[in-house]
Amino acid sequence: MSPRGFVARKVLAMAFVAVASSATTTAADTDYGATYGGRAGGSALLPWFEAGPSDGETRRDTLVVITHDDINLPATGEYVHIRLFDVKSAEACNICRRWTREDVLKESIFSIITNECAGTGRALLEAGDSVPGRYVGYATFEPSDSDTCLTIDEEGDFVPYYYQTQLQIGLAAGLNGPTYDDNLQPISSADFDEFALDPGREMYFRILVGLDTPGENALASTRLWIWSDRSGACGADPDSACLRGTSGAEGALRACDEAENCFSAFVPDFDKEVNVLDVDEIIPASFISNGGWMSVVNPTNSPLNVLGYADNEANGLGATLNWRAIFPAQRR
């Protein structure tokens, strides 16, 4: 089969196989559920969201669904502290929600931003994306027993699910949400130690670029979303270009296509909490296949608290050629 002879069905089947196992290294990495979802945790992290513009086919939204497994929750209910941050970790929106023992939290990030965030907060989130009116950032969801959400309840058992959507053209993909247990207020680097990637270790991503189905103009693309904790060494300065334990670091990158054409390069500093890499802008012209893999190495001398996701999608002339799949990065 030629390198470009993929159909969407085969691409998806191969992608599912690619994430069937996980090579892990650190003690934190051994708990795959804690890192990428699949178990209840005290609080929930939404590693990235996209929301807006308000209309048209380019509109994206992130939908949040959180259940909980807390038999000790009072029958009268409790509260969920929702905080939205821009890509540099500046708080843009702060909300307190009430829920009951058997409740399910259902939220549209776009609705929160447009209806409950102040203008200054919306401006912070809009600055993280090149599309006017589109908001990018990340969010945390923490349990509280206070109607002001000023205190954090360490007994939360959140089970989060997220949906990244572009429903106007039939695109949607879901992922289990990562959780963390420390529940410190304010958020500190210790909250995310279980996300640590040791020095020299790698995150592997399945990538797709180019024509998904020749002759049908279904263009496949991949964006890598990398959430990198900035709450340690960066302190409260949202403009400081640093990672935990470093003063800034370029990510060493390797990639191979399915014809075994390989290359290596450096990617820019991961100087934000939410970093997005457009694979189309990184790979050279010699990358002739529409499928392959890419890895990003922790180039520092310290563990980095990071999460990585490969966001694969194809856009065609009609909804029947559109699809989207999101997979957590493998680690080794």
Listed ranges 24-33, 94-103, 247-256; the one with the highest mean pLDDT: 94-103
Residues 18-47 as b/e (b if ≥16 CB within 10 A, e otherwise) read bbeebebebebbeeeebbbbebbbbbbbbb
Which residues does residue 294 pair with via DSSP β-bridges, in sequence order?
205, 255
**Measured between alpha carbons, how far is 98 from 77 in angstroms, rounded to an integer?**
7
Residues 6+ apart with CB under 8 A from 271: 241, 242, 243, 248
Residue 188 has pLDDT above 70, yes or no: no
Determine the angle formed by the axes of helices 109-116 and 119-126, rounding to 10 degrees.
140
Distance, in Å, from the CA atom of 145 to the CA atom of 79, rounded to the nearest integer, reads 6
Q: Cβ neighbours of residue 169 under 8 Å, at least 6 residues apart?
A: 57, 315, 319, 322
Q: What distance in Å separates the CA atoms of residue 230 and residue 237, rounded to the nearest whole number?
A: 10
Is cis: bond before 268, omega within 30 of 0? no
pLDDT score, position 20: 26
Over residues 54-72, the mean pLDDT reads 81
| Per-residue pLDDT tens over the stretch 236-286 | 444 444 433 343 556 678 888 888 888 888 776 666 788 888 888 888 777
* Dihedral (Cα; 226, 229, 235, 240), 10-degree rounding: -20
Mean pLDDT of 179-193: 59
Residue 71 has pLDDT above 60, yes or no: yes
